[in-house]
Structure 1
Amino acid sequence: MVLIGYRLSPEQVAAVRADPTAVDTLLYGDLDDDEAEMPEPELDLDKSWHGIHYLLTGTEWRIGEGAGAAILGGVEIGQDGGYGPPRLLDRATVRAVATELDALDVETLGARFDPDAMTAAEIYPDIWTDGAEALDYLMAHFVELRRFYNAAAANDQAVLVAIT
């Protein structure tokens, strides 16, 4: 399971709200065209998504406000691809997420890393006993998450995220 994300213009948001099946095309390309390539995500958190969510919220699945909405927040839209439907975060939510992610530095977030608690909570993937290597993996992806939301907020865009 990996988390991918796309920044959406107001026109794209209107299109997916009018026709939620358009979400699949945004995420996976034209599945009816054997020659079509899958669109490259603008955010690829790989398998770090659940660990980052845990560091942001201190919980396995609870969705918080601000930075706590970065991974699992938003409104479900489109079809369930096997790990829950994609989620759409509107422009106001994206700005709030970006602001709070900016307020967190790698050291502050890294101080929340507790391999034993994350293993006990069954945070995906089960790599937390790898210690510093697992923390480095999370922090590298956290920096990418922050960059993605900052770019979306700066361009007044919404965000579509999906676990695939």
Structure 2
Amino acid sequence: MGMVGEYLRVAPAELARAITDQAWGEEFIDDVLDAESEGCPDPTRARSHNTDKAWDALGFLTRRIGFTVDVVHGAEAMPWDENDWSHGVPRYLTPDRVRAAAEALSATPGHRLVAGVGPADLVRAGVYPAFVWEQAESLEYATGHYAALGVFFRSAAEAGDAVLVWLS
């Protein structure tokens, strides 16, 4: 299956509780993911989001143009037991960082994100997974996920939410 970038919007009070109570936080994540997997909510109201395997390309591309917020890996690590997470514990962005991320995503259209970059550049940079970037349409795959991530972050910012980020 491979690694997939995962996101979850959380209210500040939910974030505060999850920081201090790992069991509650993990159950909360599972409950939201389960509920939303049964019915795809409107993207502007969805609490969860994933970037499939485009996460590493999005990280490469946003770093390349100088994003000030790491929308792929988050900022602060949850103080949770890492043994429970195969690819590291979730990290989070506070509501202020979510707003900054939403602004950066809105200010940078997808065509600017990939300007001057071809699929071969992603392969040369070792962007995961290499087989995706060997395809001619791979940049459209990345920019499609980038656009959807922008909608997710804008909605989270408008609600005053924080965002958890992890790889699964």
Question: Shorter-chain TM-score: which interval?
Answer: 0.7 to 0.9
Partner Cα distance (2:156, 2:51) in 1: 16
TM-score (norm 2): 0.81
More helix by share: 2
| Higher mean displacement: 71-80 or 43-52 | 71-80
Secondary structure of 1:162's counterpart equals strand
1:17 to 13, 16, 19: 19
Partner Cα distance (1:112, 1:99) in 2: 23
Unaligned runs of 5+ in 2: 37-46
Secondary structure of 1:21's counterpart equals helix
User: What count of residue pairs does the alignment treat as equivalent?
Assistant: 152
**Which structure 1 residue ranges, 4+ long, deviate > 6 Å from structure 2?**
none
Is the CA contact 1:6–1:161 (under 8 Å) kept in the aligned structure 2?
A: yes
Secondary structure of 1:45's counterpart equals strand
Tell me what 1:157 maps to.
161
Identity over aligned residues, as a percent?
27
Tell me what 1:27 maps to.
29
Question: CA offsets, 1:3-37, max 9 Å, x none?
Answer: 1111111220121122133332133349xxxxxx8
Shift of 1:49: 0.5
TM-score (norm 1): 0.83
Secondary structure of 1:111's counterpart equals coil
Is the CA contact 1:9–1:158 (under 8 Å) kept in the aligned structure 2?
A: yes
Shift of 1:148: 0.7
**Aligned-CA RMSD value:** 2.2
Partner Cα distance (1:23, 1:113) in 2: 39
